[in-house]
Homo-oligomer: A and B are copies of this chain.
């Protein structure tokens, strides 16, 4: 393993900004990747339990997408199309319509917002304010929505917010997410704040939440809570925005992270795995009646990343044309839960977090979680922490990971946890 620092590539230290982050946890230089395995310059292989933070839900270099992309490039297909009409965009939209929207009875317009999640979030914020004529947006504790000033105002993390250097992060009310206050029913609290005409919480333009909070610690909102928020949004004339960037596109076992609920979001953000191949691509789904944008009122140079349309279209056709993929996901979900339960049992005071294939274990301290992940990397597993104090060991493997690889990864994780949990702990429990 190339973890000794002398092997660390000098060009990065010399020229890349100190803002760089993941590379500090995984100090090696990667050269290739296939499926759920990444390879570094020295030929070491790593099982990938990070999957581009859910941007690689179909794994690295899916062969069908890869073939289609190579063919497209070989034929001088458009790479950058601004937001002009291209054959590939048409095909992507048709696939999205046919396999995603129509089977779910969803009538949404698709807005190309610029290719990053934060572009989509910002577009949603702007549109919600335009529609309602209100400014206040209700976001939730531990939410993460992006790093540009609008999306950052929605984001809870103090360190990230501090990065704004004192710039304005207002016009947002942060209220407690589901189950974030012990036994207190946060929905009642939210309702009380909204119904009290003297609460100081201005009438909201929108509510925005993640079905499962990825960065915030794999907190999964209950069906009832999501439906409650949707009901409040409707009652108070606010847009319901579901930020499904990390939880969507199969991550919870269904295409959207809220499919098991009755909610009908006014807007849904999509990014990360939308291209299927890890290419920058984001979109905002807007209920037809809310698409009141004027031409170019929101734009962006890279709205037409045509390579992403090609791979994104293949992803939809390959995985979402029937229900076979979802069935696989259900099996992996069960396996994942089982393996994480085993791990949780050997960490006193720990608890399972998340839902579907977006799961982890809160081990109680950021130090311990960091130590576990570092040990995993030494043993060939790429895995990261999340949560306000980095206290959750988070498993975000590719949805397509072979069962064997998944088990192998969990074996490494289990060993690391056992090594890191203090010896005097109740190993007897095993």
A151 surroundings in chain B (CB, below 8 A): 148
Determine which of B30, B94, B301 lies in contact with A78 in the assembled complex, contact meaning CB atoms within 8 Å.
Answer: B30
Q: Mark interface residues in A6-48 (1 if CB within 8 Å of B CB, else 0).
A: 0011011011111111111011111111100010010000000
Determine which of B14, B50, B198 lies in contact with A158 in the assembled complex, contact meaning CB atoms within 8 Å.
Answer: B198
Determine which of B70, B189, B298 lies in contact with A73 in the assembled complex, contact meaning CB atoms within 8 Å.
Answer: B70
Is the interface on chain A under 10, 10 to 19, 20 to 34, or 35 or more residues? 35 or more
- In angstroms, how far is the closest chain B Cβ from the Cβ of A83? 5
**Chain B residue nearest to A215 in the complex (CB):** B198
- In angstroms, how far is the closest chain B Cβ from the Cβ of A25? 9
Q: Mark interface residues in A112-137 (1 if CB within 8 Å of B CB, else 0).
A: 10111111001101111111111100
Does A103 belong to the interface (CB within 8 Å)? no
Whether A31 pairs with B78 at a CB distance below 8 angstroms is: yes
**Chain B residue nearest to A109 in the complex (CB):** B17
Does A428 belong to the interface (CB within 8 Å)? no
Whether A119 pairs with B122 at a CB distance below 8 angstroms is: no
Whether A291 pairs with B79 at a CB distance below 8 angstroms is: no
**Chain B residue nearest to A286 in the complex (CB):** B17
Does A161 belong to the interface (CB within 8 Å)? yes
Does A157 belong to the interface (CB within 8 Å)? yes
A12 surroundings in chain B (CB, below 8 A): 85, 89-90, 93
Whether B149 pairs with A176 at a CB distance below 8 angstroms is: no
Q: Mark interface residues in A136-160 (1 if CB within 8 Å of B CB, else 0).
A: 0001111100111111011111111
Whether A50 pairs with B148 at a CB distance below 8 angstroms is: no
Whether B130 pairs with A150 at a CB distance below 8 angstroms is: no
A429 surroundings in chain B (CB, below 8 A): none
Does A364 belong to the interface (CB within 8 Å)? no
